[in-house]
Amino acid sequence: MARKSSAGKTAAVTIAAWTIGFLIFFPILWIIILSFKTEGDAIKSPLAVLTSGWTLHSYAEVQERSNYALHFWNSVVLSLGSTVLALVIAIPAAWAMAFVPGKRTKDLLMWMLSTKMMPAVGVLVPMYLLFRDLGLLDSRAGLTVVLTLINLPIVVWMLYTYFKEIPGEILEAARMDGANLRSEILYILTPMAVPGIASTLLLNIILAWNEAFWTLQLTTKAAAPLTQFIASYSSPEGLFYAKLSAASTMAIAPILILGWFSQKQLVRGLTFGAVK
């Protein structure tokens, strides 16, 4: 903390950090700007884009031409549905492993994690054929199950690391005071577990919303979430910058907002507790 250089150093750090931060964020800022332009203006040079007029036209157009609302709704249903389903399965499991650990708890956790290491492409063929034969291709139900299963290991792990932090002494104290199992769970454990469950919920919604392997392979239209819908803009005739920008802005906005709330949990969830 050398005082003489600190003012100059802080100024340099401030400028460097803001410049780099801006450059990294720029592509996102740019699609937001383009989404408020006409198709004609959106392909002009950057300066001409900035000085041209603003319009909400693209947003209306995206909905009119392609039923954007349906795909948005699919994304909501798939990410929320798979997350809730995963939580229902994972909460009891993580709970038991955290509070009643046995000899094999550690092996079990590691094994669960190992299922996450299997590359999706290794089971692409049978999954596709199973879905085809069961009539589940392009159905929300089928995809919800797949998204639940691929994120289940992360959900169990995250919950486990949170539950592990709830001190066992509190339970013993409550038991001494004559609390039965029911009130123990209801009044002591649950309130302490809620923040961890909420964080897990948040992170898993983000992961499910952005999942882009199974959503692309197993849906075409009716059940297509936003990942698949946006992918349809890759065909040459779909090359409309303003509309692509409007569709993209709406697709990423909810997750950007959720993501900003979950920065800390992100590290923990994605490193399986290895970095906190």
Asked if 242 and 42 count as a contact pair (C-beta separation under 8 A), the reply is yes
Q: Which amino acid is at 256?
A: L
| HSE of 3, CA atoms in CB hemisphere, 13 A | 0
Angstrom distances, CA of residue 4 to CA of 11, 13, 16, 43: 13, 15, 20, 49
Whole-number Å distance between alpha carbons of 203 and 72: 19
Of 140 and 245, nearer to other proteins (C-beta) is 245
Write down the least CB distance from residue 74 to other proteins, Å. 13
Write down the least CB distance from residue 138 to other proteins, Å. 14
Write down the least CB distance from residue 161 to other proteins, Å. 10
Of 64 and 169, nearer to other proteins (C-beta) is 169
Joined together, the tokens standing for residue 257 give 């907002």
Of 76 and 171, nearer to other proteins (C-beta) is 171
Of 69 and 130, nearer to other proteins (C-beta) is 130
Asked if 233 and 157 count as a contact pair (C-beta separation under 8 A), the reply is no
Asked if 85 and 208 count as a contact pair (C-beta separation under 8 A), the reply is no
Write down the least CB distance from residue 70 to other proteins, Å. 17
Of 21 and 195, nearer to other proteins (C-beta) is 21
Radius of gyration of the chain (CA): 24
Joined together, the tokens standing for residue 150 give 């691929």
Of 17 and 69, nearer to other proteins (C-beta) is 17
Write down the least CB distance from residue 256 to other proteins, Å. 5
Write down the least CB distance from residue 65 to other proteins, Å. 17
Whole-number Å distance between alpha carbons of 29 and 49: 13
